[in-house]
Amino acid sequence: PQLAVRPEFVQMFLDEARLAAELRHPNIVNVVDVGKASDTYYIVMEFLHGQDIRKMQRKNAAWNEHIPLGHCAQVLIDAAAGLHHAHNAKDLAGRALSIVHRDVSPQNIIITYEGATKIVDFGIAKAATQSTHTSAGVLKGKYTYMSPEQAVGDPVDARTDQFALGIVLWELLTMRRLFKRDN
């Protein structure tokens, strides 16, 4: 509620809702409804009965087991398919939406207990159609998964998400964080 009184936050929230609602793909979480009740805006998304791959990694590490190569590959193939759909999405007039997720990380890839892989949290996604823009010098995303271009604040494209997905794959295969350091 404290953020809903800030017009720039409301516009960012509505941009996210509109963007997410336009993405329909088996590997992207579906938006069911967007609205406002009283003075509260909301997004209703499909329920995903599962866990993010960071939790899956931690469980396997606690059991001292690696995740099978075939499972790692399938998770990344599915996540890449969802991102590919987002990167190539067009509006109803056929104009490219130019969506870049900008926060691809293990916490934003969910594996359902039925085996489906879903990309979630397009909350900081950058699209050509957004009415709000990131201020200069403001970084959005998790530092340890950022492409060099994103980390220095340069313009980003689909390769930024591919870079982050590569880090996710490395971490799945090695069961270690790639860029977890003291500084």
Catalytic annotation present for 103: yes
Buried b (16+ CB within 10 A) or exposed e, 84-123: ebbbebeeeeeeebbbbbbbbbbebbbbeeeeebbbbbbb
110: three-class secondary structure by DSSP:
strand
Among the listed residues 60, 77, 76, the one whose alpha carbon sits nearest the alpha carbon of residue 170: 76
CB 140 within 8 A of CB 86: no
| Dist CA 145 CA 140 (whole Å) | 11
The percent helix, strand, coil of the chain (3-state, each to 5) is 40, 15, 45
Of these residues, 52, 103, 121, 161, which one is catalytic? Answer: 103
Q: What backbone phi and psi angles, to 5 degrees, belong to 119?
A: -85, 130
Which residues are catalytic, by number?
Answer: 103
